[in-house]
Structures are given as structure tokens and as C-alpha cells.
Amino acid sequence: MKVKILISNCVLAAALFFTFSSCSEDVVPEDLSVAAEDNLVPETKSASGYRFGVAGTALGSPAYYNVPYTEQMALLKRMGMNVYKFQIQTMSDGKTTVPWRFNPFVKAAKEAGITLLPMLYHKNLDFSVSNTESYMRGLKVGKNFARQYKDIFTYYELGNELNLKCLIPGSAGKTPRSYNIKRFKTIAAYLKGMNNGIKSQDPDAKTMINSTWLHYGYLKMLEDHGIDFDIIAYHWYSEMDEVAKRDFGIDDIIQKLAKEFDKPIWFTEIGQRYEPVADIEEKQYEFISQFVARCKNHPQVKTAIVFQLFDQPNKDHILESNYGILKWMSPYTQYAYKLTAKKLIESN
């Protein structure tokens, strides 16, 4: 019996006072010859219950591709994880731009029994084109990708935090008034095309679209726009609980999302914002462990994913380079467990 693996996306952009840059995979020219991608279909479906995992820029960052993928999968298993979220860029025919990394990555996951959760990038999204053209571009990306990999994937995360591309600066994001409607319609057309393209090739596909901070209004607008996606994907970081409660009276984002949506909820990024303090590892462990426990205890939350596996010293921004639960002692030859990873291993 073949198993399909899971799909999703990368890092966040500004949600209040913070600005984040999207992760990006290495891109190669369209005419570069692509290696064969045989024998990538997993043999058994993963369990249908609650999932716990980690995100990582597995195909596009030296902090990841310099560590053997078999070793990365072993790390996940030691921490009691069964999902690995990663990002994927595609060529015009829908194939990955980095098959020489993708193939061994998928093979290692298959052999370890790890479910992969990739994110499909919003390739060629352009606010200068018509909504019809935007739909067709999304349709092509989704259709071609699913045509290539429908026997591997069941779950597809569409784009990365596109809510931030149509949010009016300074707005809370809870209602349509928070968004530039013209830009929103371009995004909605693109995502509708991507969603329809995937499902035209893979009728059993389960698609998800993500948002972050209190921008759940964006997801409700996408529903109202007629996009038939299946899962609410959400990104939540350490400072957000306090600010949501203090400034907006929202005590628990999980309860809030469960009230707003009937769909299953996946937290596909859960992370500690870096601070240059001595007890940052303790802070990271406290936030991640408590939030993951809240996810596990809510029946509507089906998956919790920690952001991310390794620190990325190659990143210029101090936040982007320090999200990992593993740190580099000597890039990229020697790493060490941070407190969160140690505790996960101890409890597994």
C-alpha cells in the first residue's frame, strides 16, 4: 500500500513589530537535466492520529543539506517526532529544482517512517496581472506539481504567509477591513487555481493554507471566496500569546481558531523568538513544550510542528539564524542539542 507524504511552507514575515524573510530553496535553470525520481513512494500510510514534528529548510540551506538526511531522520525519531516539514521549489513541469537532494531526502524519510510535510511555493505570483491570469498561474503550478508527485503526497500547504502581502500596515488582520482587497483578490485567484490544479490531478488531496498572528480574517475571506481548502494551517510564535491577550482579549489562539473554523487545524510553525539573554534555551523549551501540550489536548488540532530543526548561521538576520532546537558548534560539521531537543529525547 503506498503512502503519500505531507506538503507545506517556510518562515514568517512581519506580524506586528517583526519582519521575516521567506525561506527559499535552491533554484536551478529550467533546462538543467533532472535525475530520475524512482522508488520514492512510501510503502505504508502514516497513522491518522495526532502528529508531532519539526520544520527545516532541508533542500535549500547549508545548515541542512550538509547533514546526511538519514541522520536527520534519526534525530527526529529520537525526539519522538513523525513529521518533517520542508519547502519545495518547482520548475515549469512541476518537478523539484533540486532532485539530487529531494530524492535521497524522500528515501531517508521513507526508510525511517517519517511523514514529510512539504510546502509548495507561490511561484510567479504577480500583482500586476489580471485575476484570471493569476488563477491560471496558480492552476499550472498546482496541476503540474500534483501530476509529478501525487503518489507521494496527500497533504499540500499552498504558499507561505500570503496574508502579509495583502495586509494593510498596522492592521490587526481579523476582518476584511484589514486587507488591501485588490491585492487579496490576486492572491485568492492564485490560491484557488493552485488548489483546483492539485485536486484535478489528485482528487484525494488535502490542501491547507496558512496564516499567522491574528490574521485569521484572511482565511475566512479565502473561504468566502470559494476556495475549497481542507485544513487551517497556522504559525504561532512566543511573543504572540501575551500580546493577543493584552491588546485584543484573546486568551488562547487555539480556542479562537476552533471557534472561527470547522476545519482541522495544523500548527505548521511553532517557535521561540530569539533574545540575546542567558536563559534563551530555557525560554524556548518553556514556550514550545507548553504550546505543543495545548495543541495535543485540543481535539481539533491534528498536527503541531516546531520551527525549526537547526540554527542557520548563514542567515543575516539574528532571528532567522537562531530558531533551531539544535545549534552549530562548528558550522557545518558539529552540532549540539539545545534544551528543547534534550528534553524531547529524555521524554521519548
pLDDT at 153: 87
pLDDT the model gives residue 117: 84
pLDDT averaged over the chain?
A: 89
Query: Model confidence at 9, in pLDDT bands (50, 70, 90)?
Result: very low
Q: Average pLDDT in the 22-45 region?
A: 36
pLDDT at residue 7, as a whole number? 43
Phi-psi category of residue 16: left, alpha or beta, with phi > 0 → left and psi -120 to 50 → alpha:
left
In the chain, the percentage of residues whose pLDDT exceeds 70 is 86
| Model pLDDT for residues 37-52, shown as the tens digit of each residue | 334 433 323 445 899 9
- DSSP annotation of 73 reads H
Pick the CATH number of 5-30+38-347 from 3.20.20.80, 2.30.40.10, 3.30.750.24, 3.30.70.100: 3.20.20.80
Across 44-48, 126-130, 145-149, 298-302, least confident range: 44-48
The answer to whether residue 16 scores a pLDDT higher than 70 is no
Given this model, what pLDDT does residue 34 score? 34
Q: Provide the residue ranges of all domains of the chain, joining segments of one domain with +.
A: 5-30+38-347
* Predicted local distance difference test score (pLDDT) of residue 24: 39
pLDDT (0 to 100) of residue 11: 36
